[in-house]
Amino acid sequence: MRIYATQSPRTMGGFTLIELMIALLLGLLVVGAASSLFLSNRRVYGTSEAISRIQENQRSAFEMFSRDVREAGGNPCTRNVVNMLDTSKPRGEYYDRWQDGISGRNAVGPDGADEITLSQANGASIRVTANDSPSANIDVSSTAGLAKNDILMVCNAEVASIFQATQLPSGNSIQHNSGNGDPGNLAKPFQIDQAAFDASVGGANAPGYCFLPGNPKNPNCLNEPSNSPVQVIKPYSVRWYLEDNGRGGRSLYRQVVTNGGATVSPADEISEGVTNMQFTYKVGANAAYVDASAVTSWREVTAVHAQITFAAVEGSLTRGDTRGTDNQVLTRTLNDYILLRNRQVLQ
């Protein structure tokens, strides 16, 4: 006969209902604390990510914008620019203003944003191979990428001339005859400065400046060789402005304009989330910066004060990530002064 041992109810172990409830309460407190810490860290991470994106947009936009401002009015050759175009026509007037290098307009964008236009000639260049007489042709290494009626610049270390290509007679020649055109060239021969060009009769055999006079020198060439490289480039202007981006926000755009306004490239979206943009200008030796409406001579502008406001954009972030403790959208304002290098006096 087998005898089995048994336990009395007093010796049996387990949790009472009260103990179980206390354990659940402690567990909930731990989970709540962990959840609160997680959510707090998530909010900090989201806010940090939003600010990082604002700063990234600021850096990239400012790098491009400041480069355009610094190069305003510049070309790879010289400050001595002669305008051959007919300034009585709209496109000729445009390139007369192009030599100002910079211009701005107040409160023309959304919420009173300013815009600015910067002129320069620092793109791809074409080498000039011959210009040994003041004739209507310049020989170059190639005319690829050029077209009849393009407005171009030819320059060396002495002079830069803005003119219109009236024909491309061959794959290595650019013609710049005077006469009809839009706007057309006032005279055919190049000259060393604007006053000499304006006084030039511009006839078929009129004397003028030769970029490569040759040896022996053509008697109609008024200059000796400069012994500096000669190149043809296409001047252009860039317009910076704000506009609604079609996604419920506002963006900063950059648009390139060539050929006296006849060719306008599609605008490039540089940075989204830009809510405002204000510019003031330093004119000459004046200490104060003034609005565009107070600038009387753009050729005397030596620096730009830029204030551009960037706001956090949701995108892959949540609404809470893009807002601060006051529930307002996070913003940062870029505030900087930019010198026009081509307007600085060399000591």
241 vs 316, higher pLDDT: 241
HSE of 253, CA atoms in CB hemisphere, 13 A: 20
pLDDT at 98: 84
Confidence class for position 10, pLDDT limits 50, 70, 90: low
Query: Within a 10 A sphere around the Cβ of 62, how many other Cβ atoms?
Result: 18
pLDDT at 285: 87
CA-to-CA distance for 151 and 83, rounded, in angstroms?
11
pLDDT at 45: 59
Q: Which residues contact 25 (CB under 8 A, 6 or more apart)?
A: none
Q: 71: which DSSP letter?
A: T
What token pair was written down for 25? 């309460």
Q: 330: which DSSP letter?
A: P
pLDDT at 347: 35
Peptide bond into 189 cis (omega under 30): no
pLDDT at 1: 54
Query: Within a 10 A sphere around the Cβ of 182, how many other Cβ atoms?
Result: 15
CA-to-CA distance for 54 and 308, rounded, in angstroms?
12
Identify the H or E element spanning 275.
strand 274-283
The 3-state DSSP class for residue 239 equals strand
Residue range 289-310: average pLDDT? 95
CA-to-CA distance for 120 and 343, rounded, in angstroms?
13
Q: Are 69 and 340 in contact (CB under 8 A)?
A: yes
Confidence class for position 6, pLDDT limits 50, 70, 90: low
pLDDT per position as a tens digit, 51-85: 778 888 889 999 999 999 999 988 888 888 999 99
Least confident range from 41-45, 157-161, 212-216: namely 41-45
pLDDT per position as a tens digit, 95-116: 888 888 999 999 999 999 999 9
Q: Which residues contact 83 (CB under 8 A, 6 or more apart)?
A: 92, 95, 96, 99, 161, 162, 194, 197
Nearest to 306, CA basis, from 102, 122, 126: 102
pLDDT at 173: 95
pLDDT per position as a tens digit, 266-290: 999 999 999 999 999 999 989 899 9
pLDDT at 328: 82
Phi, psi of 85 (to 5 degrees): -75, 155
Q: Which residues contact 228 (CB under 8 A, 6 or more apart)?
A: 77, 156, 157, 158
> Residue 124: what residue type?
A
pLDDT at 260: 79
Least confident range from 9-18, 129-138, 294-303: namely 9-18
Q: Is the predicted pLDDT of residue 44 greater than 70, yes or no?
A: no
What token pair was written down for 174? 């650019």
pLDDT at 46: 60
Least confident range from 35-49, 86-100, 195-209: namely 35-49
Per-chain mean pLDDT for the chain: 86
pLDDT at 170: 84
Sheet bearing 301-311, strands edge to edge: 289-290, 274-283, 301-311, 331-339
pLDDT at 171: 82
Place of tokens 């600015």: 116
Distances (CA, A) of 73 to 40, 122, 278: 51, 10, 21
Q: Which residues contact 336 (CB under 8 A, 6 or more apart)?
A: 62, 66, 305, 306
Maximum pairwise Cα distance, the chain: 143
pLDDT at 346: 44
Nearest to 308, CA basis, from 339, 340, 270: 270
pLDDT at 127: 95
20 vs 11, higher pLDDT: 20
pLDDT per position as a tens digit, 200-250: 876 666 899 999 998 889 999 999 998 899 999 999 999 999 999 998 889
Peptide bond into 213 cis (omega under 30): no
CA-to-CA distance for 55 and 311, rounded, in angstroms?
10
pLDDT at 254: 96
Q: Are 237 and 251 in contact (CB under 8 A)?
A: no
